[in-house]
Amino acid sequence: MRILLIEDEASIANFIKEGLEEEGFAVDVADNGKKGLELALNILEEYDLLLLDWMLPGLSGIEICRAIRKENQHLPIIFLTAKDTADDAVFALETGANDFIRKPFSFEEMLARIRVLLRSKRGEQTIFRYKNIEMNLDTHRVTKNGEAVELTQKEFSLLEYLLRNKGRVCRRTRIIEKVWDINFDHSTAVIDVYINFLRKKLEDPGAESSFITTIRGIGYRINDET
Amino acid sequence: MRILLIEDEASIANFIKEGLEEEGFAVDVADNGKKGLELALNILEEYDLLLLDWMLPGLSGIEICRAIRKENQHLPIIFLTAKDTADDAVFALETGANDFIRKPFSFEEMLARIRVLLRSKRGEQTIFRYKNIEMNLDTHRVTKNGEAVELTQKEFSLLEYLLRNKGRVCRRTRIIEKVWDINFDHSTAVIDVYINFLRKKLEDPGAESSFITTIRGIGYRINDET
DNA sequence: GGGTTTTCTTAAAATTGGCTAAAAATCAAC
DNA sequence: GTTGATTTTTAGCCAATTTTAAGAAAACCC
């Protein structure tokens, strides 16, 4: 996987480059906007992902992002930004970025986000469907009958776990461990509550049976559609 | 598969017990070393695996492990330990343990290790059939002539036990121990009631003989199809 | 057949586990 | 800090499940 990093501060650029290379990525660095854009546009299909600093001498990150999006809709773009107003984040996403990370950030966190965006390139399944519900891990969106449904993080990852295991029982213990990361507290009823949230948000009001089947004493299951 | 867990901390013990039961194991818990050792030695051949806490009030895990190994070479023993020096691990293995897991551990991990140790004992079969009846442990579903039949937890695990032992007699006492609890009152008639439930749910109304054969004075058997 | 034991069947009681709503706690944005 | 959103806890309720009990039926033995 080849990543283009556009970042003017040499120390940061190096830190990221070396870290990512240790993880097995190939990383090119451009230390200003103009160079970066050139590289990106000339060998666009070479790159699997773009890490883009918000504040750059010359062309700003935003401008680069716009320019690239004109040519290529699919290249995942992650903004690195020191700013911390929500406005900027929203603005960045509207401009066409897929994600943004605030400096200072942990390398782990960045890596995790990069991996998420590259999932589809690695051939992993990123779209899950059940009847009229569609979940897209790339865009982190869920739709019901084509209309967006806003899910919180926990709701999202619970649904993801259920859909990944469509057709199989999802045992309570597993769910707690996978979605909540809890190892020893079994006395909680959070699962029930979140199942309830998902049902409320994703079910048609008049439905006679839930799309999530309860298996009493065991867990839950989203049925295979056959 | 029956597992004996010797662990004094109730919350951990419960978590493990319930999790493993969801996975279809029968789990007995002893909350101190003395009780645990007694159980283990008295009904040694009943247990397929032993989960043993390192630090216990009274008899320590190590002592228990040694005592059991004198009697039985084959029972797989897994240590649960909060200690984290390599020495202890080595020590545990030398004492006769087959594996050890450091707390806090993920349930997944523990399950994986248990499965490895039980692999030889347990076929990883997840689908069982008898004539027109099919049971799938993975989806936690039972069908008759392809149509879903809803079974409760107890019905499910009773049927599972019978099918796992297709062709063999399942003695009442064994059934009580495996499907219910080892400490369960043996004078009860629950089995009869549940056998009846299964027959009602899974038999064709006009059948002249039941798919579960009663062996008077002994127990039940699902016959081999030959 | 008659007596005894064991199993079957049914109904009712007891218990459990999940659902839901609402409150409390935590977290994040400003 | 204050506010609003998200997450977790709590508790009452209800329905499904499990257990008990008891009479009926079947199997066994003399």
The pTM score is 0.70
- CB atoms under 10 Å from CB of A66, counted, come to 12
Averaged pLDDT for residues B166-193: 84
H helices present in B56-189, as ranges? 61-71, 86-95, 107-118, 153-164, 172-179
Asked if A216 CB < 7 A from strand C, the reply is yes
Given an 8 Å threshold on Cβ–Cβ distance, is B22 in contact with A171?
yes
The DSSP code sequence of A169-190 is: -EEHHHHIIIII--SS-----H
pLDDT at A220 over 60: yes
Closest by Cβ to B14, choosing from A186, A216, A218: A186
Closest approach of chain B CAs to the CA of A194, in angstroms? 20
- CB atoms under 10 Å from CB of A132, counted, come to 13
Given an 8 Å threshold on Cβ–Cβ distance, is B11 in contact with A184?
yes
Among candidate residues A176, A157, A173, A169, the one with its CA nearest the CA of residue A220: A169
Averaged pLDDT for residues A184-199: 86
Place of tokens 């032993």: B50
Place of tokens 């869920």: A142
- Res. B135 pLDDT band, cuts 50 70 90: very high
Closest by Cβ to B15, choosing from A184, A216, A221: A184
Distance CA A139, CA A119 (A): 11
Closest approach of chain A CAs to the CA of B198, in angstroms? 17
Closest by Cβ to B104, choosing from A167, A183, A224: A183
Closest approach of chain B CAs to the CA of A157, in angstroms? 18
Position A213 scores a pLDDT of 94
> Which of B5, B12, B21, B22 is the best substitution to test chain A (most A C-beta atoms within 10 A)?
B22
At A132-184, the pLDDT tens digits run 899 988 788 899 998 889 899 899 999 999 999 999 999 998 898 889 876 66
Asked if B22 CB < 7 A from strand C, the reply is no
Averaged pLDDT for residues A193-201: 94
- Res. B47 pLDDT band, cuts 50 70 90: confident
Whole-Å CA distances, B48 to A50, B2, B114, B175, B189: 53, 5, 10, 16, 27
Decide yes or no: CATH 3.40.50.2300 for domain B2-118: yes
Averaged pLDDT for residues A112-140: 83
- CATH 3.40.50.2300 intervals, chain B: 2-118
- Res. A43 pLDDT band, cuts 50 70 90: confident
Averaged pLDDT for residues B127-132: 90
- CATH 1.10.10.10 intervals, chain B: 127-222
The CATH number given to B127-222 is: 1.10.10.10
Residue type, A144: K
Nearest CA in chain A to B153: A217
Position B134 scores a pLDDT of 94
Position B205 scores a pLDDT of 75
